[in-house]
Structure 1
Amino acid sequence: MYLCPLCQQALVLNNKQYQCVNRHSFDQAKEGYVNLLPVQQKNSQDPGDNKEMMQARRAFLQADWYRPMAEQVGATLQPLQVTTLLDLGCGEGYYSNLLQQQLTIEEQHGIDISKSAIRSAAKQYPQVHFAVASAYSLPFAAGYFDAIVRIYAPSLASELSRVLKVGGHLLTVTPAPEHLLQLKQAIYSEVRLHSDAVTDITGFQHVARERLSFQLTQLTATDLMQLITMVPLGWKFSAAVKAELLAQAPAIQCDFYLDLYQKVAKA
């Protein structure tokens, strides 16, 4: 299932320990996940979002505010007959779980650099294989997956191409121009909208783009606070601006691009 992150040899699970022929070993946690992020691939002692951001995101997503986007991701993948799927930067596993319910997937994986997020995901969704791992050094064999879902997560094009089968698909979700517009308007006098350009990804052909827009119209103050806390934009809010926005409780615009790419064969 996995490759050793140190020598790229196959890992074999034996008595809750993944081992390779070079005797590198990685324990399977009691929750079922495995940590395949060696210290030399970490950019800090505890990489990933901080605890406050993680808890806010988990609560916000589990309240299903972004469910329309998650369901659209599943609907886009449905005709592709995906049997092996990777959720890149899966966090606490919200999207992994919904995709598992929507699609007929034989083997589903989720990776994230946050150990806390992966522990939470593995506890809640044991039907998915979760690992702590870097998107820049994926612990999977070449051509392993039919499809990869990348919702906001940074990644390396060469690694995406390596682990996808020829003809396999990459589905990215990125902010469209008016995403979270009201949050931007609260902190900037002049708002800069997100780009509408399609990103070229080496080794892939862009197949299709869908734009999904909807409003969050019944957010409580708690919900809105969770949204502010979980997004990078949240660091820009002063206490006064945050209090004013929470008192106003405006409808919040959600605006996403879903871009479908297909891996092309090398010439």
Structure 2
Amino acid sequence: MLTCPLCSAPLASVDNGVACPAGHRFDRARQGYLNLLPVQHKNSRDPGDNQAMVEARRDFLSAGHYAPVARRLAELAAERAPQCWLDIGCGEGYYTAQIAEALPAAEGYALDISREAVKRACRRSPAVTWLVASMARVPLADASCGFLASVFSPLDWHEAKRLLAPGGGLMRIGPTREHLMELRQRLYDEVRDYSDDKHLALVPEGMVHDHSETLTFRLTLDNPKARADLLAMTPHGWRASAEKRAAVIDQADPFEVTVSMRYDYFVRQG
């Protein structure tokens, strides 16, 4: 199932890690994950989200603010009942753990390029095989997965297609144009509009758009910590001015925002 990130040969368990027939070996970290991201595949010393962003997202999600988003993802995963699944760009594992709970009999994998994120994700679900790895070079065999999840994550569509077995599918979750609208209106003089379905033009031949739905609800952030975490885990944490960020965080009244997510499912044809 796992493949060597250096030569693409199968990896087998050895002692406290994995190795391929060519002798490339990768040890399991103390926290439980496998680092399958060779230095030559990194674009920086520590790629991906840094510790501050990871901890802000962990605290925000653990507080339950996006619980309906994760709950619906778990329901959709359970309906498809795959034997093997992968969360691509798992972050600190909040959504991954709920997929694992919904699919107790399935073999689960999750990866992120951020070592800081995966270190924390390991605590969420010991049943999942956690990987530090590149989303553009996923160290799993061709046609090995029945279900892929991509939540708020960049996606290499052709790599996703390679990983899917015929009949398997990719569930992509991303924001609609209404997501966090009230926050964006407070942070920017002009709110940039974007198309909810622009990703459909990227879907490769052989993958069919099988399902789409939108989940929308109102969220009340009634303390400065929650508002600061939300800013820190999004691009708004560095795009908006310090003054406007502070005004949102420090306001006396609770802050209400719209959460709006689009779920799209794409099936790999035989």
TM bracket (short chain): over 0.9
Letter in 1 for 2:45: Q
- The residue aligned with 2:16 is 16
- The residue aligned with 1:261 is 266
- 1:37-88 CA distance string (max 9 Å, x none): 0111111000011111111001001111111011111122222122211011
Q: Is the 8 A contact 1:82 1:105 kept in 2?
A: no
Letter in 2 for 1:255: S
1:252 and 2:257 aligned: yes
TM-score, with structure 1 as normaliser = 0.95
Measured in 1, the distance between the counterparts of 2:156 and 2:220 equals: 36
1:221 and 2:224 aligned: yes
Identity of aligned residues (%): 36
Letter in 2 for 1:151: V
Evaluate the alpha carbon distance shift between residue 196 and residue 123 of structure 1 in structure 2; reply closer, same or farther with a 3 A threshold.
closer
Q: Is the 8 A contact 2:77 2:99 kept in 1?
A: no
SS in 2 for 1:123: coil
Measured in 2, the distance between the counterparts of 1:161 and 1:211 equals: 24
Measured in 2, the distance between the counterparts of 1:174 and 1:187 equals: 21
Q: CA deviation at 1:251?
A: 0.1
Q: CA deviation at 1:192?
A: 2.0
1:73 and 2:73 aligned: yes
Q: CA deviation at 1:11?
A: 0.8
**Which residue of 207, 211, 215 maps to 2:210?**
207
- 1:212-251 CA distance string (max 9 Å, x none): 1111124321101100111012112323212221205420
Aligned 1:1-267 pairs, distance under 5 A: 1-197=1-197, 199-200=200-201, 201-202=203-204, 203-246=206-249, 247=251, 248-265=253-270
SS in 1 for 2:108: strand
Letter in 2 for 1:67: A
Q: CA deviation at 1:190?
A: 2.1
Measured in 2, the distance between the counterparts of 1:218 and 1:234 equals: 16
Letter in 2 for 1:2: L
- 1:154-205 CA distance string (max 9 Å, x none): 1222211111100101000011111011221112222123312251310310
Letter in 1 for 2:57: R
Task: Write out the 4+ residue segments of structure 1 that deviate beyond 6 Å after TM superposition.
Answer: none
- 1:98-150 CA distance string (max 9 Å, x none): 11112344211100001111111113321111010011001001111110000
